[in-house]
Amino acid sequence: MAKTTSRESRDAVGPDPVADFLRAPRPGRRRGEKLAVLVASDLADEIVEAGLRPGDPLPNEARMLERLDVSRATLREALRVLETQGVIVVKTGRGGGPFVAEPQSRALADLLTINFRVLGVTFEEILVTRDTIEPALAAQAAANRTEADLAHLRSLVERMEEARGARDYSALNRDFHTTVATASRNRPLAVMWSAIGEVADGQVVGTSWGEDLRAAGNRAHRRLIDALAAGDPDRAQRVMSAHVTAFHHAMGRDHAAALRAPIRAPGG
């Protein structure tokens, strides 16, 4: 018996989202914008309306050309726009083509970095933004965290207390703060925090993660876990605010000139 594919299984229980994609009414296009950008916007809308999920393929080129009534060059440029934005990924080789991408904050961070560099935004402004977002996420995490979230946070703190190298400690610290953001259950704000964090991490500046700074961070993390476990949003917000402010001050002490400078492209 032939093996049933996931696509065939989905067809057996409901309509094909790719077919829905092609049947959906095409939205009107706004004047004054580049055609490829407008087509990219149309495609993004139709991906959502058709219920396509990460890993699902878009229709083949011939079907999209017929559907969208544009030239092959315009369609391909529109797909490149979506790929740059992280909406799709284009795979090469047999079975390749455009597929819906798994959402990642890195794509948003890249776009923000470009815009921030044009505006001349400084590294300190990025840290201030992150300092503003994180306490709000901590407060919401106190109201919405699960026992699994708490268990993971406790495990991370234990590993941070045992970490020897700065690289390992930094990665665990990032995981801790990401878990708090996720525990807030505020997905838009968590994505924004993650993207801003990616922008900050893309700067070739970092703390020395000396023993004193690590110890202070670990104590703050344990106080935060206590506030989250108690379901106390006000205390969680205060603890996180004090924690990120202390980190910001450490950055100002060690890298004052870098904080005042405009941000750079990652690795620049």
3-state secondary structure 149-210: HHHHHHHHHHHHHHCCCHHHHHHHHHHHHHHHHHHCCCHHHHHHHHHHHHHHHCCCCCCCCC
pLDDT digits 0-9 by tens, 233-263: 999 999 999 999 999 998 888 889 989 999 9
Report the predicted TM-score, pTM, of the whole model to 2 decimal places.
Answer: 0.73
Amino acid 1: pLDDT: 46
What's the mean pLDDT in 161-187? 93
pLDDT digits 0-9 by tens, 144-169: 999 999 999 999 999 999 998 888 99
The pLDDT of residue 93 is above 90: no
Give the three-class secondary structure for 91: strand
Q: What domains, with CATH codes, occur in the chain?
A: 6-102 (1.10.10.10), 106-260 (1.20.120.530)
The pLDDT of residue 143 is above 60: yes
CB crowding 193-219: b at 16 or more within 10 Å, else e: bbbbbbbbebbebebebeeebbeebbe
150 contacts: CB under 8 Å, gap ≥ 6: 225, 228, 229
The pLDDT of residue 43 is above 80: yes
Question: Is the separation of the CB atoms in 159 and 239 below 8 Å?
Answer: no
Q: In the predicted model, what is the mean pLDDT of the chain?
A: 87
At residue 2 the predicted structure's pLDDT band, cuts being 50, 70 and 90, is: very low
The pLDDT of residue 92 is above 70: yes
